[in-house]
Amino acid sequence: MRQRIGAGLLALAAIFGATSSGAGEVSVVKVEATRAPDGTWRFDVTLHHADEGWDHYANLWRIETPDGKILGERILAHPHVNEQPFTRSLSGVRIPDTLDQVIVRARDSVHGYGLRVVYALPE
């Protein structure tokens, strides 16, 4: 049975990204999740980062349980200097039925992981 802590989208990303990120850190600005017929999830995650090239760019985002277990990762293989913000997807993410929210985090090659963003899964 799924425990309901919140309903709908709890995308605190825009607030955290706009107010809490230090200079040069990557921000998660939008998260959308869709459940597939097989029970797995597809995540479309939009990031913003002042990519400067190969020495400083957003290089990964991931989905975690509230206690830190990694459920899926999307490696970003190149800088997105002229494409900001940008959205990338990850399909086939298995989420335990007991969860009603996940954490989305992004990383850049200089500062590491930015703030955790809580996302409430749609019903």
pTM summary value: 0.77
pLDDT cut 90: percent of the chain above it: 46
Given pLDDT bands bounded at 50, 70 and 90, which one contains residue 81? low
State the architecture of 13-120 in CATH terms: Sandwich (2.60)
What are the two backbone dihedrals, phi and then psi, of residue 40, each rounded to the nearest 5 degrees? -80, 170
Tokens standing for residue 87: 């959205």
Closest CA to 117 of 18, 35, 2, 40: 18
Residue 107, Cβ density class (10 Å: 0-12 exposed, 13-18 middle, ≥19 buried)? buried
In terms of pLDDT, which residue wins out, 117 or 1? 117
DSSP, collapsed to helix, strand or coil, labels residue 19 as helix
Statement: residue 78 has pLDDT above 90: no
Rounded-to-integer distance, Cα 97 and Cα 108, Å:
31
Closest CA to 64 of 38, 90, 88, 84: 90
- What was the pLDDT predicted at 14? 36
